[in-house]
A = this chain, B = another copy of it.
Amino acid sequence: MTDVSEPKWRRRADERPDEVLDAALQLFVRNGFAATKVEDIARDAGLSKGAIYRYFSSKEDIFESLVKRALTPIADHTSIVARTSQADPAMLLRGVLTMLSSRLSDPDTLALPRLVLMEAGKFPALAAAYRRQVVDKALLALETIVQRGVDEGTFRPVNPHYAVRNIIGPVLAHVLIGEIFGIDKEPEPIPAAFIDSHFDILINGLANTGQGG
């Protein structure tokens, strides 16, 4: 993970913080914030305990930086919608599910939301920030897609705000059941058959067939 052949340290103050955050994220997720020792983070990041404090002022600062780092690159809701405004809503949802499925199959991607979830009680402000800048934006983008489907008549007149929960919920449930409650097992990718099944049920539930509902 860390190249050992090099001299004891290089002038790479700019890469260190990210390495620390990577190590911290893994440990925080595995053991929780309180049970993670700064020294362990340091060891996993390949530096000494004291060096951590050159980059972060405290263990809490590491946690906050972790969340902030995840907040920055989040695509804006409007940009998502712009990219998708022409496509068929059903196909868009299909794409969203596939993307969700692959993202959530990746333990590294899953790690931060899990961490925020785990420590929400201790860091409500950070959890709120995460919710606002990540969760709400994603939900809003999905709502917009559903709304367009309704407007175009492809979908029945469902409440888009609620309907997004039918889109992401089954995937979330699958992940929670399979990974969080079975955390000791190697994470398995989400099977395509499940995504097919979910999409099938979902799209039948949403589709405007001229009779249902």
Contact = CB atoms under 8 A, between A and B. Distances in A.
Given A121-B29, A170-B170, A174-B169, A205 B211 contact: no
Contact of A32 (B32, B181, B207): B32
A177 B193 contact: no
A158 B120 contact: no
Given A31-B121, A193-B162, A131 B204 contact: no
Contacts of A163: 197, 201
Given A169-B169, A174-B169, A204 B194 contact: no
A183 interface: yes
Interface string A105-134: 000000000001111111010011011000
A74 interface: no
Interface in A25-76: 29-35
A77 interface: no
A206 to B, nearest CB: 6
A104 interface: no
B211 A209 contact: yes
Interface in A130-167: 130-131, 135, 139, 156, 158-159, 162-166
A123 to B, nearest CB: 10
A169 B122 CA distance: 26
Contacts of A168: 169, 173
Given A128-B182, A162-B198, 20 more contacts: A29-B121, A32-B32, A32-B118, A33-B34, A128-B181, A128-B184, A131-B182, A135-B177, A156-B204, A159-B193, A165-B173, A165-B174, A166-B166, A166-B202, A172-B173, A202-B205, A204-B205, A205-B205, A205-B206, A209-B209
